[in-house]
Amino acid sequence: MALDFIYTHNIGYKLGWGVETTYRELAKAHELDEEDVKRMLRLSMAFLLFDKTADGMVVHTAPSFALATNTGLSAWIGLMTKENWPPMLKIAEVLAKYPGSQEQLESAYAMAHNLVEPPFKTWEKDPPRIKRFAEGVEYIHAGIGFQPLHVLQGNSAPDLEPSTFVDVGGSKGYNSAQTLAVGEQELPDHLRDRVQFTVHNLWTEQPLKHADVYFFRMIFHDWSDKYCAEILRSLIPALKKGAKIIIYDFCLPPKGAVSLYQERWLSDEVFTNGKERDTENWAALFGKADNRFIFLGVRLPPGSKEAIVEAVWAPDAKDPSTTET
């Protein structure tokens, strides 16, 4: 509630560090009632957002100043309060109305926001909304434990030279650049010609054939098993024997292995009826897509919040679509 109030009204966004102001001045600047501002900021102060001096003046704390000055953090807070909070209040209702659904339009998010099209389709028609999403996710992924170079530390890159690495759904190529540069912030000039961009729809046949690795980062948690299986099947015409599928995404740990905070993922079910998966779920997903995907396991590189999920394409394995006569 406090974050939503601050974000919605840009409270303190023009207040400098160490500068004092009054509730009245803040209310006037944002065309709000003074008593309402006082009540909401008192709530905010309980969460270390803003502080009150001995003589009753309002000043920034480090967290409130960060929210006021860091556009990525502000976008993430907007994403949480405006996009994710309303569906949280609908999760019980939607589970009763659509039990076991894997469809995006039968999610708590779709119900809360009265969607007639899936979330990403809806956002495509709302540039400020998609901009907030992109900036918020980029901010989170820049945090400790989310660097793509953990893929190399996890020893999952194929021992091939040269090798072709396809970053499916890789946006601006940040994952590929980081992987090639082994942690460089910018790709060195001598490596630039090794990264190419191709427009591709996840649901259509993969156009880049016979690569050594097909890499997905933070894609599968947004989709239910039904649609994740479709994404994997779209790779099949492009796969050569021994091609690896590496998924860099969350893997739910065994109970008690990590903090309660890390065990609490439900946000993707709220959003698109997607889900976070444990090791058994990942293994079952590859089997659901095609038995010729051989699941190799999951491992969590030291310091990483994302796990490496790996499978290999074995075309000589039994194809479940064929029937013996």
Q: Looking at this protein, which amino acid is placed at residue 106?
A: E
* 242, 317 Cβ separation under 8 angstroms: no
Give dist(CA 224, CA 232) in Å, integer: 13
In CATH, the architecture of 2-69 is Orthogonal Bundle (1.10)
**Confidence check: pLDDT of 176 > 60:** no
State yes or no: is 221 an active-site residue: yes
The mean of the pLDDT values for the chain is 83
* 317, 241 Cβ separation under 8 angstroms: no
Neighbours of 28 (CB within 10 A): 12
Taking residues 262-274, report their average pLDDT: 62
Give dist(CA 148, CA 243) in Å, integer: 20
Give dist(CA 122, CA 211) in Å, integer: 33
Find the range with the poorest average confidence among 16-25, 32-41, 128-137, 169-178: 169-178
**Confidence check: pLDDT of 156 > 70:** no
Q: Looking at this protein, which amino acid is placed at residue 239?
A: L
Residues of the chain with CATH 3.40.50.150: 144-313
Beta partners for 21? Answer: 58
Quick one: 72 exposed, middle or buried, by C-beta within 10 A (0-12, 13-18, 19+)? middle
Taking residues 39-67, report their average pLDDT: 96
Residues of the chain with CATH 1.10.10.10: 2-69
More confident residue, 183 or 16: 16
Taking residues 127-139, report their average pLDDT: 90
What pLDDT is attached to residue 190?
55
What are 184-239's pLDDT values in tens digits? Answer: 334 455 555 665 666 667 888 888 899 888 989 888 988 999 999 999 999 999 99
Find the range with the poorest average confidence among 96-105, 137-146, 178-187, 296-305: 178-187
What pLDDT is attached to residue 260?
55
- Catalytic residue (choose from 60, 141, 150, 221): 221
What are 277-317's pLDDT values in tens digits? Answer: 889 999 999 999 999 999 999 988 777 778 889 999 999 97
Distances (CA, A) of 185 to 142, 192, 282: 11, 13, 31
Give dist(CA 256, CA 258) in Å, integer: 6
What pLDDT is attached to residue 167?
82
Of 92, 133, 128, 99, which Cα lies nearest the Cα of 222? 133
In eight-state DSSP terms, residue 246 is: E
Q: How many helices (H) and strands (E) does the chain have?
A: 15, 7
**Confidence check: pLDDT of 268 > 70:** no
Those residues whose C-beta lies under 8 Å from the C-beta of residue 104, and which sit 6 or more positions away, are 110, 118, 119, 272, 273
More confident residue, 19 or 222: 19
What pLDDT is attached to residue 195?
58
Taking residues 156-161, report their average pLDDT: 49
What pLDDT is attached to residue 304?
76
Phi, psi dihedral angles at 194 (to 5 degrees): -95, -5
Give dist(CA 108, CA 120) in Å, integer: 15
Those residues whose C-beta lies under 8 Å from the C-beta of residue 277, and which sit 6 or more positions away, are 220, 221, 249, 250, 251, 252, 285
3-state secondary structure of 17: coil
Taking residues 165-183, report their average pLDDT: 54
Those residues whose C-beta lies under 8 Å from the C-beta of residue 173, and which sit 6 or more positions away, are 167, 195, 197
Of 25, 140, 171, 149, which Cα lies nearest the Cα of 74? 140
CATH annotation of 144-313: 3.40.50.150
Taking residues 32-59, report their average pLDDT: 96
